[in-house]
Chain A
Amino acid sequence: MTDTLTASPRPATEGAAPSRTRRVATTMTGNWVFLALVILIVFFSVKAGGTFFDLGNFRNVLFNASGTMLLAVGTAFLIIGGQLDLSIGSVLVFSEVVGAKVIIAVSGPAAKSYPDATLGIALGIVVSIGLGAAWGVLNGVLVTRVKIPSFIITLGSLGMALGLAQVITKGTDVTGMPPKMITSIGIARFLSLPVPVWIAAAVAVVAGLVLAKTRFGRYTYAIGSNAEAARRSGIKVARHIVILFTMMGALAGLAGVLDVARYTTTQVSGHSSDNLVAIAAVIIGGASLFGGRGTIFGTAVGVLIPAVLNNGLVIINVQPFWQTVAIGAILILAVAMDNIKRSQQTRAS
C-alpha cells in the first residue's frame, strides 16, 4: 500500500509536498498499528492454534467490541476536530435506561407475551438515539458558547447524565425487556456475523468515508489543526463543533441500544471507563491528542487491539493482571509513534 503512495507523481507546486508527507505518515502509522494487530493475531494463533484462530472466537471478539467501536468512531471525529468528550459512558447509560423503560412501557405486558414488542423496540431505539443526540447538543452548545474546554464541560455532563439515570432507576438496572429485542438485534445473525457487528461495521465504514472524502471531513481536520485559521477562512466552526458533539451523543445512544440488546439488561455502573477506552483506541490508531490528524481505519484497529489482547491473553492463560499492563504499554508505544511523526513533519515542512 505504501508503494503506490510513494510512487504517485511529484506535484508541481512545492506547497503540496508537506501534505503528501502528512498523508503518507498518517497512513503509515495507521498501517504500523495494523501491522501490530496482525502480529498479535499471528502470535496468538501460533501459541494457541485453533483455540484462538476460530470463527466462533473472532465472532465473540467482534461482538463484544461492537459497542466500543461506535463510541470510538464518535470520539475519533471529536479528537480530530480538537475536542474531547468524557461524558459518553454516562450519556450511553442515560439513553439506554430511558430507552429500555420506553420499550417495556410500550411493548405490552409479559403475560400476553409483549404484543407490541416491535413498536416498543423501534420507539425505544429512536428515543435512545434521540436522547443521546440531545446530550450531544447540550455539550456542543456549552463548549462553543461558554468557551470552557470540552474536557471540563463534558466532565460536568458526565456527572449529570449518570446522576439523572440513577435518579430515574433508583440505581437498579432495567430488566424485563421483550425477548424480541435480543433475538432480533442482540444475537441475530446475518451471514454468520451478529447484527451488532454489522451495525458497528456499517457506522465505521460510513464514518471513514465521510472523514476522508467529504467536505465535512476536511473541515473537521482543518478545525482540529487550527480552529482560528478555519474560522477566518469561512468555516462555521461553532456550528461544526456542535454537530460533532451531536454525532457523538447519537452514537452513544446507539451504543446503549446495542448494550441492552446484547446483555438483556442495562448496565448502569458498567460504563464509567468507556471514555478512556474510546480515547485510547483513537490514539492507538494514530490520531493526535492535539487534533488535526487521525483516521477511522486506525481507530478500528485501536479498538481491536485491546479486544484481541484481552481475548488472546486469557486463551494462552496469562495471569489477568498482566493484561492491563500489556494494554497500557501498547498505548504508550502508540503515543511515542505519534511524537516521532510530529517531529518528522516539523522537519519535512
Chain B
Amino acid sequence: MSHKNTGAALVAAAAATVLAISGCSSGASDTPSGGGSNKAGKHYKIAFIPGCTCDPYYSTETTGFQTAAKAASVTPIVQGPADFQASEQIPVLQAVVQKKPDAIVIDPTDATALAAPIEAAVAQGIPVMTTGNNVKTDKIFTAIAASSIQGGKLGGQELIKQAPQGGEVVFVHIKPGISSIDDRDTGFKQAFQGQTKYTVLHELYAGNDSATQAASLVSATLSSHPKLVAIFASNVITAEGAANAVQTAGKQGKIAVLGYDAGPNEVTDLRAGSLTALVSQNPYQIGQQAIANAVKYLKGDKSIPKDQPFAPLVITKDNLNDPKTQTALYK
C-alpha cells in the first residue's frame, strides 16, 4: 500500500536528516575518551555555556575561550541557547552536565533561575565558574566579569565630557534581573550624582533585547524630550537600535550616544558618527581568563579569589586606532 511506504520513507528521511546534520556539523572538540587521562600532561574537558548564541559579545568570548583551550591542550565544549532565556539555557546546562566535563564556565541568563541548576552541577562534582553575569549562589569557584558598575560610571563620565552643556540623559535597559545591565545602570546613575546640570530620565526597557524595539523606544523619547543630550545603550543590540533611531531623527552629531560592547556594527557606527563612544568588556580576554582560571582551579589552586572584576575600556574616535583598543574590539 503506497501510503504506508511513503510514511516509512518520510520517517527514514527524518532519521537521515538528523544523522546528516550531526555528521556534518559535529564540533571537532569532543574526544571519545572521558575527561582527563592520568598521564602527565592531563587533558581537561572544559565546557562554556554563553548566555546565547545571538550576540557578537558571546561569539568573541567563545573565540577567546577556544583559542586559549587549544593553547592549553584543553578540549573545549561550547553549547548555548538560541535566545537569552533561562528556560532555554537550563536544559543546555543539564545536557552539558551529562557529558561530565571537568569544569563548566557559564554566563547565567537569570541570577535566580540558574542558581539551583548550577548548584546541582556542583553537587555532581563539576566545578562551575561564571563570566559576565552573576548568579545567586556561592557554590561557584570564581566570577570573572568586566565590572559593569565601573563600565556604567566610566561611560556616564564620557557622556558628561561629550555633552558638557547639560540637559536630559537616558539609559536604555533590557529588563531588570540581568545583573550586568542592572550594574551598568547603577554605575551610570553614580556618574550623574551631584551633576545638577543633568536630568536623568526614567530608564527605557527594551525587554525583548531586540534592536527594533530599542529603536522605537529611543525614537519616542527623542520626540518627547527635545532637551535630550545623551543616551547610554546598555548592550550591542540596544546600541544598534539607539544609533538607528538617532540617525533617523536626524540628530546625529547633536546627541552623545554611548553603546556598551564593541561589536562590528557598533565600530562602524562609531566611525560614522551615529555612536559617539563605546565601552568594551574585552570578551576575548574574558574567554581566555576563563580557561586560565579553570585550569588553575583543576590543578588544585584554591587561592583563586571569588570575584575578579576588571575595568572596561571606553573607546571613542580618538583612541579607536590605538593597538590596545584594536584587541578589545569584538569580532
A contact residues vs B (CB 8 Å cutoff)? 28-29, 32, 35-36, 39-40, 43, 47, 51-52, 54, 56-57, 60-61, 64, 166, 171-173, 175, 182, 187, 263-265, 267-270, 272, 307, 309-311, 313-326, 329-330, 333, 336-337, 340-341, 344
Contact = CB atoms under 8 A, between A and B. Distances in A.
Interface in B1-52: 3-4, 6-8, 10-11, 13-15, 17-19, 21-22, 25-27, 29-30
Given A40-B18, A329-B17, 7 more contacts: A54-B98, A171-B207, A172-B177, A263-B110, A318-B21, A320-B79, A329-B14
Interface in B66-117: 77, 79-82, 85-87, 90-92, 94-96, 98-100, 110, 112-113, 115-116
Given A171-B175, A320-B53, A314 B79 contact: yes
Contacts of A344: 3
B176 interface: yes
A57 B96 CA distance: 10
A323 B22 CA distance: 9
Contacts of B141: none
A344 B22 CA distance: 34
A320 B99 contact: no
B193 interface: no
Given A314-B95, A315-B98, A320 B10 contact: no
Contacts of A318: 21-22, 25-27
Contacts of B19: 43
Contacts of B92: 310, 314, 320
A291 B5 CA distance: 25
B81 A264 contact: no
Nearest to B52: A320
A336 B11 CA distance: 11
Interface of B: 3-4, 6-8, 10-11, 13-15, 17-19, 21-22, 25-27, 29-30, 53, 77, 79-82, 85-87, 90-92, 94-96, 98-100, 110, 112-113, 115-116, 175-177, 205, 207-208
Q: Which of A175, A269, A316 has the most CB of B within 10 A?
A: A269
Interface of chain A: mostly helix, strand, loop or mixed:
helix
B91 A311 contact: yes
24 contacts: A28-B4, A28-B7, A29-B7, A32-B10, A39-B14, A39-B15, A40-B15, A43-B15, A43-B18, A52-B98, A166-B207, A171-B207, A263-B110, A264-B113, A267-B110, A269-B208, A307-B91, A310-B92, A310-B95, A317-B26, A317-B27, A317-B30, A330-B14, A340-B7
A226 to B, nearest CB: 24
Contacts of B79: 314, 317, 320
A340 B80 contact: no
A1 B108 CA distance: 46
B95 to A, nearest CB: 4
- Which secondary structure dominates where chain B touches chain A? helix
Contacts of B85: 267, 269-270
A56 to B, nearest CB: 7
A320 B81 contact: yes
Nearest to B21: A322
A307 B95 CA distance: 11
B93 to A, nearest CB: 9
A33 to B, nearest CB: 8
B14 A268 contact: no
Contacts of B87: 64, 263, 267, 270
A270 B86 contact: yes
A265 B90 CA distance: 14
